[in-house]
Structure 1
């Protein structure tokens, strides 16, 4: 390594190059699984009503005495719990985001990670060797057919999408010029977190969400709980087989990355056809930087598509802009939203 390169190495890079940094990265699943188990057990929801001592938590969560104290104190050390003496309480962040009773709950994504994604990632090496998903589906079985055919899987999947969309949805509601439009539809909406956030921030808008028919009761129940049933309507359909519904703005969040390049281009073409002149398409994902060096979350999400889908992959800013221009969109622009999330906007 040259002296110049060494001088420009960040602290994080320096730590990652140390033996300890390498081992911490390699064993990072220890901390991950500790948090996932806490979400699965409902720990943060138990503490949302007030602090509890270790023995009370052990009994309420059904934990064996041998591991209970280490488990709880590991969460303290990881910054997920606070403790005074033997009294445990949520941190402000875990109280806001990991209490199942709050609308800001993001633990649905972690619950799916604990029960499905974690196991699938255990076979990443096999996926890298074969290019095949490791989600338990047969060669002729579609992941979404499997998820949508089982009511329990459907609800869990919808809640996972809600958890994974919060940060981007809140930013999208702030950053896009919604005052210029009257109607919008979120494509592949799941439970409806994105349309709920947008409609809550902009009372003049009406719209809804588009998804496969089994998602209707889940979407409608969520819109009702958020007090938006009068402005948000569910649009049933299969975007692989049918045209997209018309609106001034169409939103595709965490949709394009599920599919191969041919389907990506087909979906963008369908969006272009459904929009009026000067209508807008918003695509948001954990879009990878063009140099493929910085957005680790986007690159890891693309590996998640490898182990969970038959052809899905995440894409760079240049990829997304190029595909949208090929579909006919003009005034295509890229904008960072929050964290690893960004959007590409195209005008018809």
Structure 2
């Protein structure tokens, strides 16, 4: 029986789902505070009691026990009496310094997401994008004018690009290809994962020229300056470097359909014969019923003038229109879709 039928029959409808939605941000804030305070890193070496965790993480005794128990109830910690230890998911992704660390992304959302989404009602009424700093442009302000701010921003994104790079390295048969370009590749983190996994690949990052110093520093620290090059430019105004494979991750969702089609025509010209383009985004499911993907699309509309997510079927149609002879789409890391076009 549906909720509407229950109402018609006089059956009480529980408001539980509504209440959970209303306070959903509380759980996220508990996670974000735990990351900022280093709770999971404190427990990296093993269990500790509440007092020890509170002292090491700087938690006030009045809130510490409820806070730690809330983390346990959320599945991020495990509690045995007064002793706490990291749950498996926290141990894998929330201990600072470990290769799978996603804390940078958690902090990034804490800094950017909530203030912007607090303006959703205004956006729905006006249709205007909501920026944290309208005078400087962009939903996170002009990060490029503040190198340290940009490093923190990219550090948060590195958590994603590590996972994306690892998945692409394993998912794609790279043996037939010798080169790739990460379009909008920022400071080269995804490229680094790919060349470390497949040493035969020659890599290049294509991004705005102002990103070059950040790329040089990061790739130099990884010891990969001889493996990954940087090409500065605007992919709408300048030629896109040619390669066997071009990667567009989280790029197309920033533009409207006409700009997407225009960019894919340029991408087609830059893909070597027999090569591929790999596109990943949180694409909308065909029947538009997945709430996470729809919220992601709404987020793009909230923070940009023309951006949104899009259906995989639409992306494949744009690729065929651009000249790619075959296309495919497949799930990617549970939350994304990977579309492949072959030239």
Same fold (TM over 0.5): yes
Which residue pairs with 1:312 in the alignment? 307
Which residue pairs with 1:41 in the alignment? 37
Residue 52 of structure 2 corresponds to residue 64 of structure 1: no
Question: Size of the alignment, in residue pairs?
Answer: 335
Q: Distance in 1 between matches of 2:89 and 2:300?
A: 28
How many angstroms does 1:29 deviate by?
0.9
Which residue pairs with 2:127 in the alignment? 131
Which residue pairs with 1:281 in the alignment? 277
How many angstroms does 1:144 deviate by?
7.5
Which residue pairs with 1:198 in the alignment? 194
Deviations 1:88-117 (A, max 9, x none): 222222122112201211222111111111
Q: Distance in 1 between matches of 2:37 and 2:209?
A: 31
Note closer, same or farther for the CA distance 1:301–1:102 as it changes in structure 2 (3 Å cut).
same
> Does the Cα contact within 8 Å between 1:82 and 1:88 map onto a contact in 2?
yes
Question: Which secondary structure state, in structure 2, belongs to the residue aligned with residue 299 of structure 1?
Answer: helix
Question: Mean alpha-carbon deviation: is it higher for 197-206 or for 316-325?
Answer: 197-206
Residue 258 of structure 2 corresponds to residue 262 of structure 1: yes
How many angstroms does 1:281 deviate by?
0.8
Which residue pairs with 2:96 in the alignment? 100
Q: Distance in 1 between matches of 2:19 and 2:337?
A: 31
Residue 240 of structure 2 corresponds to residue 244 of structure 1: yes
Deviations 1:235-283 (A, max 9, x none): 2222232121111110000111112223222221221122222221111
Matches within 5 A, 1:1-348: 18-138=14-134, 141-143=137-139, 146-294=142-290, 296-348=291-343
> Does the Cα contact within 8 Å between 2:40 and 2:86 map onto a contact in 1?
yes
Note closer, same or farther for the CA distance 1:280–1:314 as it changes in structure 2 (3 Å cut).
same
Deviations 1:92-147 (A, max 9, x none): 22122112201211222111111111221122222222222222232783458712
> Structure 2: which 5+ runs fail to align?
6-12
> Does the Cα contact within 8 Å between 1:188 and 1:255 map onto a contact in 2?
yes
How many angstroms does 1:203 deviate by?
1.9
Note closer, same or farther for the CA distance 1:229–1:103 as it changes in structure 2 (3 Å cut).
farther
Higher relative contact order (CA 8 A, sep 6+): 1
Deviations 1:20-79 (A, max 9, x none): 122212221111111111122222223224433322322333222221211111001101
> Does the Cα contact within 8 Å between 1:40 and 1:114 map onto a contact in 2?
no
CA RMSD of aligned residues (A): 2.4
Which residue pairs with 2:10 in the alignment? none
> Does the Cα contact within 8 Å between 1:106 and 1:166 map onto a contact in 2?
no
